[in-house]
Amino acid sequence: MLAEMALWLATPANRMTRRLGLVTESVSLWARGLRQRKAWAEHHARCRAIVAETVAALPQRRTAAILGSGLLRDVPIELLSANFERVLLVDAVHLPLVRLRMRFHRNVELVTRDLSGIMGWLAGESGHRADPLADLAADPAIDLVVSANLLSQLAWPVEDWLEDHPAAAMRLPADLPARCIAWHLDDLRRFAGRVVLLSDIAMTERDRTGTITDRLDLMRGVALPEPDESWDWPVAPFGEEARDRESIHRVQAWRDFR
Ligand SMILES: C[S@@+](CC[C@H](N)C(=O)[O-])C[C@H]1O[C@@H](n2cnc3c(N)ncnc32)[C@H](O)[C@@H]1O
């Protein structure tokens, strides 16, 4: 708990990123990932394998952009750094642990950016969404884009924020969380290079008898094409969030999303 508090304080982030709970979430993801190292290993290995196989098949390897790079558990960062001239790690939050580790990779750059494009809109600083990937989508040297388990994370902070700010919510579209998901998919389609999309798309909660106690569409109704692969990720095994309840996420992967 103390380590989590220290990490929260030491993580640089702007006001809206903190208010949306993204720093808290990154820190708790770091801690939970340590606790659930075994349970999460297969999910991380499958993600990393898809990225590694894609890299091996690319004809050119100039720049790779990893969207939602976070703790770098689901992307093979050493392999990316060794194979590409330049690697951009794009996330709203880069924990100090990641910043420190990446100091030793001369071709890796950390880009701190809101990939939903709506933080300024939520804060009342603008009346519309900003284009979060205008510069990168126009960069012809980007040969690989990986959206690394980011997509589902674009919706819930907005949902929570709208709930906590009913007056501000009145001036915003009610379906903003779903729009954030759809916008990210549109953003990915604008890149000229190869796009790998990895995302959890649904959550199922079960009790110890196997009875389903809750289900959630993490895509908020946004339709996706058929994936190339899918698997279960035990995000919260029994005992993590509740003694007699587990939470399993369905993950899907697209090797060439565009
Ligand atoms: C489930 S984590 C991804 C895990 C990461 N790829 C890893 O291996 O650790 C989701 C990531 O999306 C980032 N994220 C969530 N909302 C974001 C936003 N609006 N803009 C940029 N990054 C965001 C979080 O900071 C977090 O690092």
Six-digit token pair at 73?
A: 């558990």
- Per-residue pLDDT in tens (0 to 9) along the chain, 258 residues: 889 999 999 999 999 999 999 999 999 999 999 999 999 999 999 999 999 999 999 999 999 999 999 999 999 999 999 999 999 999 999 999 999 999 999 999 999 999 999 999 999 999 999 999 999 999 999 999 999 999 999 999 999 999 999 998 999 999 999 999 999 999 999 999 999 999 999 999 999 999 999 999 999 999 999 999 999 999 999 999 999 999 999 999 999 998
Where do the DSSP E strands lie in 19-117? 63-67, 86-91, 108-112
Q: Which of 191, 211, 201, 199 is nearest to 258 (CA)?
A: 191
Question: CA–CA separation, 138 vs 160, rounded Å?
Answer: 32
pTM of the model: 0.97
Q: Which of 8, 16, 22 has the most ligand 1 atoms within 8 A of CB, as the residue to mutate?
A: 22
Taking the CB of residue 111, how many other CB atoms lie within 10 A of it? 16
Which fold, 2-254? Rossmann fold (3.40.50)
Beta bridge partners of 206: 212, 246
Q: Is the CB of 147 under 6 A from ligand 1?
A: no
Question: CA–CA separation, 162 vs 158, rounded Å?
Answer: 6
State the distance from the centre of ligand 1 to the C-alpha of 208, rounded, in angstroms. 30
* Domain boundary assignment for the chain: 2-254
